Structure 1
Amino acid sequence: MRTFAGFALAGLAAAVPGTVTAEVLTVEGVYAARQSGAVEVREIAVERFGGDVGEELAIALADRLEAVRLDREPYFTILAGQARRYGYSTGETAARDYGAATMRGTASGEILDIRDGTKKRTRCVRRDERKKCVEEKVEVYRCRKLAVRFDPSVRLIAREGGTLYAADDTLTRTQRYCDDDKSEPSANAMMQEMVDEFAVRVRYDLAPEYRRENVRIMESRKGLEREDAASFKDAVRLTKTDQAGACGQFEALLAANPDHGSLLFNAGLCAEREDRLEDAIPLYERTLAGSNGRDYARAGLDRVTSRLRAERQLDRRYPPDSPVEAAN
């Protein structure tokens, strides 16, 4: 298994405050791409997209994919504007061609600006000497609805042929505005928002994600003897200054209370924090089987299984006998 020091996401990674104020443990790692069909792809030639919104989508996709970094190195090499002509070769060229693919697509948009009834607003037109309204006027304003639709379609094609990844969608945005509004909505801005949303989806489908986040521990001491409950309270307090020390106490308490829900979850979170992912799974599963903390445990299992999947994806991407590994 290949390990990595960090996975930068050009501002998309979850941020963690410098000072931890809640009862939490910090976990970090690389989480899996949502789809595994293209994990070996390292170089993507982005063709000119068809459709009236195709150029905007191609640019957004190239920008999002080019921004992904692994160990401060680009995760993808992006060739924009035209597809390269792939050929089989040896040596340095073979290493460069390893994992190459072409991205093709089309994107169309539709904008409708239609009547959408009226809006009434009552305002005071005369007040007495005590500032009390004595005469009101009902004003009626005509309204319209701006509806924007975006239909993207993307394919990632392997060098040797065959579809590695496919994504199709229909996105819509609507906004109502009336004659009394200070400004009208922008169809271009609404379209760009959907273009960006779809590009982000493709980015997370194709590449893993690094996250560093603070996860709340479980704090219920119910069911513990008085001495163990006091030790548990000390461990909870210790999470703010010494997370490793807190984990040591949680795990010691679990040995004496093997079925306690909070201790099972907290010990699982400690194992996850220390990258002992396989150890975390049964602890989360046992928490899930209990009556408390199911949402906590389910989220923990999701994180751990995603990280294990990411390890398998990266092993596929960087096998020891790959041309790129040999070139390095």
Structure 2
Amino acid sequence: MHRIGLLLAASALACAGVARGEVLEITGEFPANNREASFLESVAVERFGGNDGAALQIAIERALAGSQFELLAGRTGRENAEGSISGSISSGVEESGWTRKEKKCVEKDGKGKCTKEEQVEVRCKRRIIDVKADIRIVHNGDGRILYSEPKPFREEVTWCPGGNPGRTAEDVIENAIQGIAGSLRGDLVPHVDTYKIRVRENTKGLSKETANRFKDWVKRTKRDAQGACHGWDAMRAEAAGHPSLLFNLGLCAEQRGAYEDALGLYRDAAQAGASEGREGFERATRLIAGRADAAERARRRRS
């Protein structure tokens, strides 16, 4: 998971955890991790080397379906696609035995109660599965390598008598291939997320009357987020520079798509002592990039 995903997941956990609070729900488009490759209009997925190459090729085609790319196949695809995706994949399964000591009843009385235990060796098994994929994307027009990334996967499981590995090696490798293809999509495809960010409620440093009104607007976010934002905006003069006000106004700006405004408010909130402002600043930066990339893709399609 890339960093923005971690930030959103952390925010969701904060909302769902013990420390509950009011939130604003926001929808925004985040850019692909690899900007240049994401601008390709059409791609052909070439044959991948390795025993599982065909499976990875199909998984990538399915993972990129419905994205901004036009997927082309066959000779026509190879000759006409703006970019080509190729690479190789290898997988290996290694099983070995190991022992551990356990207490085991070796004598019982007439009622079946254990009267003597001894340490005995139990033979167990260990399975290690390694899947190693290398993926490259080339611009067919000028030969530039736009993307070149290793995609490793490793799973180690152990089990003893009475247990089992849970999944067959074939299932593990198949799931690994699907995960690798999904990871590639995450690198190449911009995504729209709807997420909830907790508003800041700390009123330390405000007068009692101002703090009470600030809290009233916090409570109002549940039923009227826009009204709460207007209320906080009206408090700019009397609570100038307060970290909670700055951060919440940043959330309001982010919610309405005014990302440049949000960027400045989050920066000021962080400088005023709101640690959440740093995450907001990074999120707004990525939202600005996502919007710019969408505009660039639209411009390239028109030209």
- With over 3 angstroms needed to count, the CA separation of the structure-2 counterparts of 1:147 and 1:214, relative to structure 1, is same
CA RMSD, aligned part only?
2.8
Q: Does 1:152 align with 2:133?
A: yes
Q: Which residue of 1 aligns with 2:186?
A: 204
TM-score of the pair, normalised by structure 2: 0.85
Q: Which residue of 2 aligns with 1:172?
A: 154
State the Cα distance separating 1:194 from its structure 2 match.
Answer: 2.4
- With over 3 angstroms needed to count, the CA separation of the structure-2 counterparts of 1:260 and 1:125, relative to structure 1, is farther
List gaps (5 residues or longer) in structure 1. 1-12, 69-74, 88-96
State the Cα distance separating 1:247 from its structure 2 match.
Answer: 0.8
Instruction: Tell me which of 72, 77, 85 is aligned to 2:70.
Output: 77
SS of 2:33 mapped into structure 1: coil
**Aligned AA for 2:292?**
R
Kindly report which structure 2 residues correspond to 1:163-312, keeping only aligned pairs within 5 A, or say none: 163-182=145-164, 185-291=167-273, 293-294=274-275, 296-312=276-292
- With over 3 angstroms needed to count, the CA separation of the structure-2 counterparts of 1:172 and 1:119, relative to structure 1, is farther
**Aligned AA for 1:262?**
S
State the Cα distance separating 1:136 from its structure 2 match.
Answer: 6.0
- With over 3 angstroms needed to count, the CA separation of the structure-2 counterparts of 1:105 and 1:230, relative to structure 1, is same
Q: Which residue of 1 aligns with 2:79?
A: 86
Q: Which residue of 2 aligns with 1:112?
A: 94
- With over 3 angstroms needed to count, the CA separation of the structure-2 counterparts of 1:144 and 1:81, relative to structure 1, is farther
Give deviations 1:135-180, integer Å, cap 9, x for gaps: 4655643111110111101111212122121111332111111122
Q: Which residue of 1 aligns with 2:302?
A: 325
Give deviations 1:4-60, integer Å, cap 9, x for gaps: xxxxxxxxx99x9xxx98400011111011111213212111111111121221122
**Aligned AA for 1:232?**
F
Give deviations 1:60-105, integer Å, cap 9, x for gaps: 211111143xxxxxx2222345672436xxxxxxxxx6xx211111
- With over 3 angstroms needed to count, the CA separation of the structure-2 counterparts of 1:76 and 1:126, relative to structure 1, is farther
SS of 1:245 mapped into structure 2: helix
Give deviations 1:210-251, integer Å, cap 9, x for gaps: 000111011111111111111111111101100001111122
Deviating more after overlay: 245-254 vs 277-286: 245-254
State the Cα distance separating 1:189 from its structure 2 match.
Answer: 2.2
Q: Which residue of 1 aligns with 2:3?
A: none
- With over 3 angstroms needed to count, the CA separation of the structure-2 counterparts of 1:158 and 1:230, relative to structure 1, is same
Identity %: 28
- With over 3 angstroms needed to count, the CA separation of the structure-2 counterparts of 1:243 and 1:209, relative to structure 1, is same
Give deviations 1:239-269, integer Å, cap 9, x for gaps: 1100001111122223311111111110111
Give deviations 1:180-199, integer Å, cap 9, x for gaps: 21565421222223222222
Q: Where does structure 1 differ by over 3 angstroms across 4 or more consecutive aligned residues?
A: 80-83, 121-129, 133-140, 182-185
